[in-house]
Amino acid sequence: MATRAVPAAGGAGGAGKQEAHRWKILISSQVFHPKVGGIETVSKLLAEEFAELGHEVTLVTLEKWNQPDRFPFRVVRRPGPVELLREVAACDIYWQNHIGLKTAWPALLLRKPWVVTLQGGLGSGFRACLKRAVLAHAVCINISNFLADVNHYGLLVLGNPYDDRNFRIQSNTRSRELVFLGRLEPEKGGSTLAELLQLLRERSLQPKLTVIGDGQERTALERHCLDSGLGEQVDFVGVKEGPELAKILNAHQVMVIPSLWDEPFGIVALEGIACGCVVAGFDSGGLHEAVGPCGVLVPRGDVRALADAIEALLKNPDQQAALRARADEHLAHFSCRSVALEYLEVFHSLLCAGGTQCGKSLGQGQ
């Protein structure tokens, strides 16, 4: 099992150490706004937090966008090789939010202080071997202990942050029982929702379910719910973000996360917990690290066991209250400020080590 080689930040000590340092931080996020996803969210949140802490932040991305960017940091879209080389040369620290070979080469060429956060597995075959060879020159961070074990690369583990300014408890009135938030793609398990509701109906339970998100399975899932007589129970609302999403989550009791793949982490769980939902889902990948003591997870794919867990939660408000009571302590580790300060501790250690050949001093390992 990997270990957290970076001390928890957020206290006075971590903040005090950073006040004396103001760096030019270059962030590489190959996917970014206007796309919506985990990497995009983390890049935006930490870029905003670094800027608020007084650092000069630039973000480079391969994502196109034909509208003006309105962020408290500079965004460079689709830089050419010369422009990318110039940006890397000008920075003090280069942070890649997930390894991208198309934007990694300047760090190798210039031997810049370089940190890479692994948001997923490295894969297999020649490309994976190439990534490992490249990453030997960077300090690597895994977003969960699960992912560190899968990658067999890097000992530093820092969970992803969630948007703690938007996602918070706004109401104690929860008029709907269940909510699903995520892409309606096979790996996210949306196809199990109708089966889940049918099992609950057999137990004389007809909870309301809100499905937030879109994807290739949406049309089929809507049709299946109608054909199964579940149309009045399920409300498909599409993609929602920010305050509107937080408001919807605040109206629900239980967030259902039936993922059928190995989740590297699970920011949606943090968002739901922060809005007062308890989590019921499959124990997949690093999801249990995001859920912590604020939910109930069952073996992946066992829809009947998931129905049992949800039935128990819906029939026992005290159990829900006990899980919600542990939310503040759990979420404190994943606030934007806490995670940003932990990253700054990594940057500080790297720069103090001279920026190169510093992996071993920061707990790097294979």
pLDDT at 5: 40
Q: Can you give the CATH number for the domain in which 293 is found?
A: 3.40.50.2000
Same domain assignment for residues 132 and 203: no
Question: What is the count of structural domains for the chain?
Answer: 2
Rounded to an integer, what is the distance from CA 118 to the centroid of its chain?
A: 11
Mean pLDDT of 248-276: 97
Judge whether 1 lies within some domain.
no
Contact 211, 242 (CB under 8 A): no
Write out pLDDT tens, residues 14-45: 444 555 579 999 999 999 999 888 999 999 99
Strand order in the sheet with 176-181: 234-238, 209-212, 176-181, 252-257, 278-283, 295-299
Same domain assignment for residues 182 and 290: yes
Contact 10, 341 (CB under 8 A): yes
pLDDT at 193: 96
Contact 76, 61 (CB under 8 A): yes
Q: How confident is the model at residue 284 (pLDDT cuts 50, 70, 90)?
A: very high
Mean pLDDT of 191-209: 96
Write out pLDDT tens, residues 334-356: 999 999 999 999 999 999 987 65
Judge whether 171 lies within some domain.
no
Structure tokens at 151: 């990658």
Q: How confident is the model at residue 151 (pLDDT cuts 50, 70, 90)?
A: confident
Write the CB contacts of 35 (distance below 8 Å, at least 6 apart in sequence): 63
pLDDT at 7: 34
Mean pLDDT of 193-220: 96
Mean pLDDT of 76-85: 98
Same domain assignment for residues 201 and 120: no
Same domain assignment for residues 80 and 105: yes
pLDDT at 263: 96
Structure tokens at 213: 């998100």
Query: Which residue segment(s) compose the domain that 79 sits in?
Result: 12-161+335-362
Identify any residues that bridge with 61 across adjacent strands, giving them in sequence order.
Answer: 77
Mean pLDDT of all residues in the chain?
A: 91
Judge whether 170 lies within some domain.
no
Same domain assignment for residues 137 and 50: yes
Q: How confident is the model at residue 308 (pLDDT cuts 50, 70, 90)?
A: very high
Mean pLDDT of 164-182: 94
Same domain assignment for residues 243 and 98: no
On the question of pLDDT at 11 being above 90, the answer is no
pLDDT at 90: 98
Same domain assignment for residues 215 and 153: no
On the question of pLDDT at 365 being above 60, the answer is no
Same domain assignment for residues 318 and 347: no
On the question of pLDDT at 188 being above 50, the answer is yes
Judge whether 169 lies within some domain.
no
On the question of pLDDT at 10 being above 80, the answer is no
A 10 A CB-CB count for 97 gives 29
Judge whether 67 lies within some domain.
yes
Mean pLDDT of 229-245: 95
**What is the C-alpha separation between 280 and 253, in angstroms, rounded?**
10
Same domain assignment for residues 151 and 266: no
pLDDT at 1: 37
Same domain assignment for residues 34 and 156: yes
Mean pLDDT of 64-78: 96
On the question of pLDDT at 358 being above 80, the answer is no
Judge whether 292 lies within some domain.
yes
Mean pLDDT of 86-112: 96
Same domain assignment for residues 157 and 187: no
Judge whether 153 lies within some domain.
yes
Judge whether 2 lies within some domain.
no
Q: How confident is the model at residue 212 (pLDDT cuts 50, 70, 90)?
A: very high
Same domain assignment for residues 341 and 322: no
Mean pLDDT of 81-101: 97
Mean pLDDT of 37-65: 96
Q: What is the largest CA-CA distance in the chain?
A: 65
